[in-house]
Amino acid sequence: MSNEIKHIKEMLSSTYEPNVELGCQVGNAYKKEFVQEFNCTPFAMREIYLFLKRYNAIPEGMCFLDIEELKLLSRGITSIPQGICALKKLTKVELWNNKIKTLPESIGKLKNLLKIDIGKNKFSYLPKSIICLKSLKVLFIDNNKITSLPENIGMLENIELFSMDNNQLTYLPKSIGNIKKLREISLKGNKLKDVPIEFGELDKLEKLNIRNNLLTNIPEGIMNLKNYADIDVRGNQINKLSLTPTAKRRLIFIVREEDAFE
């Protein structure tokens, strides 16, 4: 038995059951051995689910696998290896509810990634290399301690859904206006007092949740949105909604009952 297969088998020994679909395509050098050891066919393998009870990190030993989807939810994981860049076929990474503080810079090499969910971890920042993920369509970074986004976050021009709820964001980079395909963005529970004027360039935006921030009025960047959109501004410090006639026709605001249009 190769060391790689032995290592993975040891990881799974406490929880593996024959009816658990490991669902991964392994490298050709190990495929036959992997299939024999885990009694599963390569045709049925698409995703990998590692039920790790004894491990709090993703070991380097798994990085030879040609995994398409990696889901490790609520496992107490504390770190991601640099070797994750070897998983060239990854399209989805879901690491919700762990104890991870950073993503390795090598994540930027995963050019096929379509979705990242790192919600409910311990992140305070995103790696600079994340802007290299040009295929990314969905990004969830909710419930962390992130204080700012990379200034050139707008290079992620294919994102359609971006959720940043319950962080510590105090401002948004101007480049966010370059994410032209953005349809939904959620900023609930941050410390935003304004959004950049470039926000109004999000031509396809359909839904914005910016409730529970520190807004005292509707930012010009929001009033300049060109598409018909639902805007949730509840839980801010807005006394009166002062809108342009164009914004009144185009935007639907979800507000407190006591808020009024001027």
Question: Which of these, 146, 208, 211, lies nearest to 179 by C-alpha position?
Answer: 208
Total domain count for the chain? Answer: 1
pLDDT score, position 22: 37
pLDDT score, position 19: 31
In a domain, 187, yes or no: no
- Give the C-alpha separation, 44 to 247, whole Å: 51
In a domain, 85, yes or no: yes
Q: What token pair was written down for 201?
A: 């360039």
C-alpha separations of 123 from 12, 84, 104, 143, 156 in Å: 27, 18, 12, 9, 19
Residue range 191-208: average pLDDT?
A: 96
Q: What token pair was written down for 41?
A: 């066919």
In a domain, 259, yes or no: no
**Strands in the chain per DSSP E:** 47-49, 69-71, 92-94, 115-117, 138-140, 161-163, 184-186, 207-209, 229-232, 251-254
More confident residue, 149 or 81: 149
In a domain, 234, yes or no: no
In a domain, 230, yes or no: no
* pLDDT digits 0-9 by tens, 125-159: 999 999 999 999 999 999 999 999 999 999 999 99
- Give the C-alpha separation, 63 to 201, whole Å: 40
pLDDT score, position 214: 97
In a domain, 192, yes or no: no
In a domain, 68, yes or no: yes
Say which CATH number the domain at 14 has: 3.80.10.10
Q: If you average pLDDT over every residue of the chain, what do you get? A: 80
- Give the C-alpha separation, 109 to 101, whole Å: 19
Residues in the chain: 262
**Which one of 61-65, 68-72, 101-105 scores highest in mean pLDDT?**
101-105
In a domain, 185, yes or no: no
Question: Which residues span the domain enclosing 7?
Answer: 3-146
